[in-house]
Structure 1
């Protein structure tokens, strides 16, 4: 067993460690990592054993070794870098306290900036006349129960753990490519709709935004529509949606009122009733800004909404089939919790970049709607 202070050499590295290092440096070349570190003002003023660049890769590697402790992850990472790239030969394992301080020094900002640099490259823009199906989804994650996490994120009751601190993640994900395009992290008190406002600049013409109105708000609907994106949201049975005009495909025109602002003018929408077996039943309703059936038929919009891919799917993807008893987030301080979340999004981006090449990106169109499968592999860049 290699202990703290022992040399981490290429000779002692396992092949799997070299593969891990290769994935990370292929997806996130050192020059790109250094740019994010500099933009976050985390560049060191003096040489450190645990540089900011090293700690970015360590945060990422934590998700490739989800059941391994922080120190062992660092040991494996440095072995892999030595084996794969000849980097860090003769490097010595620091103490656990030094590693904890280095993680805290790095903070979440470099990983957040790195994600927002690479994420827009995951999926190309829709071709002219087609729409890019994007889902708006939220996920609430339990974090270790510490005073710092409770103060920053707030608490909520769970079925099996009592009242614990939780953090909220809201993201835009491409439904076909299963790629996260943008994300926001915050305390429970902000709410999903408030965090979603940070993501609106990532929308625009050519986007079909899929969501659940019950989890959001009419005010967010108005602002999302202002980005020129088309909206397709599910509305629960409690939303009043009077029939103004029945259309040829069974959908109807209506008005969406804003309970939080009753004086505001109602929003014109098209309502599509459907059930689990089709689109003509009353059990569910979709509302859309696409007011004319000629723009998109009801049956096509139902199929588009059924294609939604969410953040829970991303977690299952990244942990190869589910949590398997592993606590998802393990940091006892809020900055490190956010660091973990941005690292999770980055690793998901990297793993999907390995799966499908740009030439395998297939699309099927129907009446102006596009459904796509696969992700775009990032081109290899600078190597160590």
Structure 2
């Protein structure tokens, strides 16, 4: 993302800024933002020009204007709010240090709580009798090389975002942030709280574990994971649809500490002719045929799509965040997920999807960009 030192533009984009502000306050009404600020204990004891509410919108607007520095983002935001809501007509541009201090006062908690308030749930998206494909995926982003980021995220500062996403609506349901050295199992366990009956969890066994499989199944979800060639999956019984029943056990010294997990294995050739294997907890073909499960896995949502949706003109060039401290890194990522929610989750009512392809959702995003090309 672009950084400080940008030259402020003239007022010709004021209409676009008003549209951008309208998107923000429509998706995240001020009353909802104030509730998140209060729940996080960030309500001001005295009046400030850079209020906590204003700084929440500033954090969101940074993802609307990824090529602008902090001050230019604030200028555009306040021009838009003034046009749309007649806010801050007498507002004056703060100094860069004042903006940084206001971001630090806000912290990540209000944005995290705001995301929890607006993020959809599996139960809210599930159709009666249907398996809702929910993907577990990760995204690693670079960070500015500061002492604070190195101490928290490692010598080469990077942050890993682990998230659950709904494959139909492309909505992010839940997320966890860690340093890459923490591994994927711990954050994935934290996200199991967002699963439940009706979810079909798609993931990659090679980066996870049988222990996580057990936990996810215990949460009430059905599972459909890809298993690489190193996993031993003996044929116990071949089923009518060509899949077979097998047993899944943790490899290595710990194997045998727990009884193997009964699974069903689906083998198929991908478009390039390579053989792939899917394992599922749905053991009976009558409940979900192999072809149906293969198709479900092909719809797998990718967390990198969130950046693609936020970047105008195609795949995002964003691979390094702005923030120079761990708390602000977290703030920036929750803002990213909130803006993705505004684009994906609020442009389309999931109850009206009725199986529409993700390409149709992308067309809606393109429509918004045509209306306000400088906003999204």
Q: TM-score, normalised by structure 2?
A: 0.88
Aligned ranges 1:277-316 → 2 under 5 Å:
277=271, 283-316=275-308
Cα deviation for residue 127 of structure 1 reads 2.4
Question: Which residue of structure 2 aligns with residue 348 of structure 1?
Answer: 340
- The CA deviation string for residues 208-235 of structure 1, in whole angstroms up to 9 with x for no partner, is 1111111111111110000111000000
Question: Which residue of structure 2 aligns with residue 132 of structure 1?
Answer: 132
For 1:12 and 1:373, the matched residues in 2 are separated by 32
Cα deviation for residue 354 of structure 1 reads 5.0
| Contact 1:13–1:79 (8 Å) recurs in 2 | no
| Contact 2:60–2:336 (8 Å) recurs in 1 | yes
Cα deviation for residue 12 of structure 1 reads 8.2
1:272 aligned to 2:271? no
- Greater shift in the superposed pair: 262-271 or 61-70: 262-271
For 1:123 and 1:289, the matched residues in 2 are separated by 20
For 1:188 and 1:110, the matched residues in 2 are separated by 24
Distance 1:373 1:272, change over 3 A: farther
Cα deviation for residue 86 of structure 1 reads 0.7
| Contact 1:360–1:374 (8 Å) recurs in 2 | no
For 1:277 and 1:186, the matched residues in 2 are separated by 34
Question: Which residue of structure 1 aligns with residue 5 of structure 2?
Answer: none
- The CA deviation string for residues 218-270 of structure 1, in whole angstroms up to 9 with x for no partner, is 11111000011100000001111111111111111111111363211111100
For 1:88 and 1:219, the matched residues in 2 are separated by 54
Secondary structure at 1:34 match in 2: helix
| Contact 1:212–1:233 (8 Å) recurs in 2 | yes
Secondary structure at 1:167 match in 2: strand
Cα deviation for residue 190 of structure 1 reads 2.0
Q: Which of structure 1's runs of 4+ aligned residues deviate more than 6 A?
A: 370-373
- The CA deviation string for residues 1-50 of structure 1, in whole angstroms up to 9 with x for no partner, is xxxxxxxxxx8871011011100000000110011111111111111110
Which structure shows the bigger proportion of residues in strand conformation? 1
1:334 aligned to 2:357? no
Question: Which residue of structure 2 aligns with residue 84 of structure 1?
Answer: 84
For 1:134 and 1:122, the matched residues in 2 are separated by 8
Distance 1:287 1:105, change over 3 A: same
For 2:12 and 2:294, the matched residues in 1 are separated by 55
For 2:123 and 2:79, the matched residues in 1 are separated by 33
Which structure 1 residue ranges, 5 or more long, are not aligned? 1-10, 156-163, 365-369, 378-384
Secondary structure at 1:139 match in 2: strand
Aligned ranges 1:47-196 → 2 under 5 Å:
47-120=47-120, 124-155=124-155, 164-196=156-188
Number of matched residues?
A: 350
- Greater shift in the superposed pair: 186-195 or 300-309: 186-195
Which structure shows the bigger proportion of residues in helix conformation? 2
Q: TM-score, normalised by structure 1?
A: 0.86
- Greater shift in the superposed pair: 108-117 or 260-269: 260-269
- Greater shift in the superposed pair: 311-320 or 68-77: 311-320
Secondary structure at 2:44 match in 1: coil
Question: Which residue of structure 1 aligns with residue 315 of structure 2?
Answer: 322
- Greater shift in the superposed pair: 17-26 or 313-322: 313-322
Cα deviation for residue 317 of structure 1 reads 1.2
Question: Which residue of structure 1 aligns with residue 215 of structure 2?
Answer: 223
For 1:246 and 1:353, the matched residues in 2 are separated by 41
For 1:167 and 1:221, the matched residues in 2 are separated by 25
Question: Which residue of structure 1 aligns with residue 243 of structure 2?
Answer: 251
Secondary structure at 1:208 match in 2: strand
| Contact 1:176–1:373 (8 Å) recurs in 2 | no
| Contact 2:37–2:110 (8 Å) recurs in 1 | yes
- Greater shift in the superposed pair: 236-245 or 351-360: 351-360
| Contact 2:245–2:262 (8 Å) recurs in 1 | yes
Aligned-pair Cα RMSD in Å? 2.3
For 2:358 and 2:80, the matched residues in 1 are separated by 38
Aligned ranges 1:10-49 → 2 under 5 Å:
14-49=14-49
Cα deviation for residue 187 of structure 1 reads 1.5
